[in-house]
A and B are shown apart, each in its own frame.
Chain A
Amino acid sequence: AQSVTQLGSHVSVSEGALVLLRCNYSSSVPPYLFWYVQYPNQGLQLLLKYTSAATLVKGINGFEAEFKKSETSFHLTKPSAHMSDAAEYFCAVSAVSGGYQKVTFGIGTKLQVIP
């Protein structure tokens, strides 16, 4: 069984400030972890993924996330927020079994960027 907890359904930051979106996961097997971004009325875009290689993962648009097994966390960060970062962010976990995987999503965090 696997699950994801995203702390904070809404996060507000000032433009230029650090973005930190929290994600904790639970998985009975070594997980694959993802962050997706969803802009209003659009689909899911993959920001970055962790698949058991480097624990610090860099993604698109200046985002990165660090896998911390001891804390079962995969928090998303960006040093300096832009207005264009305003969107909803979903953390997700999957466990691959024989090539098949089911992705379990967190509830999402809406990021507001204040000018």
Chain B
Amino acid sequence: EPEVTQTPSHQVTQMGQEVILRCVPISNHLYFYWYRQILGQKVEFLVSFYNNEISEKSEIFDDQFSVERPDGSNFTLKIRSTKLEDSAMYFCASTGDSYEQYFGPGTRLTVT
């Protein structure tokens, strides 16, 4: 069964450093998403991406964040200068035509 993959599974970085979280969506999907889950809290929408541009972004997705689809398979989330409060689990998701979002296993980002 096709699945969304994410790398790395755990990333530790120092405050102020740039991080790139990587996702490989399901190959025939066209819509891509990033969500965030701070420890003990609910999953929050960050951004959606379609046709090489952002469709919608939340207020969390400020100028420190960016997304990119650098090639035909990867979908990345970059945080330019990490803050302590960026520590969270980041989930990538993609959608085909079944209206079901397929979620990746997540990347746990720890900012120290």
- Give residues in A with beta carbon < 8 Å to B: 32, 34, 36, 41-44, 46, 49, 51, 90, 92, 94, 96, 99-108
Given contacts A42-B105, A46-B100, A94-B101, contact A100 B55 (CB under 8 A): yes
Q: Say how far A1's CB is from chain B's closest CB, in angstroms.
A: 13
Contact B50 A100 (CB under 8 A): yes
Residues of A contacting B104 with CB < 8 Å?
43
Contact A106 B42 (CB under 8 A): yes
Instruction: Give complex CA distance A100, B93 in Å.
Output: 12
- Give residues in B with beta carbon < 8 Å to A: 30-31, 33, 35, 41-45, 48, 50, 55-56, 91, 93, 95, 97, 99-101, 103-106, 108
Contact B31 A100 (CB under 8 A): yes
Given contacts A43-B91, A90-B43, A94-B101, contact A102 B106 (CB under 8 A): no
Contact B42 A102 (CB under 8 A): no
Q: How many A-B residue pairs have CB under 8 A?
A: 60
Residue from B44, B45, B97, B106 in contact with A43 in the complex, judged by beta carbons closer than 8 Å: B106
Residue from A42, A44, A90, A101 in contact with B99 in the complex, judged by beta carbons closer than 8 Å: A101
Residues of A contacting B41 with CB < 8 Å?
107
Residues of A contacting B93 with CB < 8 Å?
103
Given contacts A42-B105, A44-B91, A44-B103, contact A99 B45 (CB under 8 A): no
Residues of A contacting B108 with CB < 8 Å?
41
Residues of B contacting A108 with CB < 8 Å?
42
Contact A99 B31 (CB under 8 A): yes
Contact A49 B100 (CB under 8 A): yes
Contact B103 A43 (CB under 8 A): yes
Contact A101 B31 (CB under 8 A): yes
Instruction: Give complex CA distance A104, B95 in Å.
Output: 15
Residue from A32, A42, A103, A106 in contact with B45 in the complex, judged by beta carbons closer than 8 Å: A103
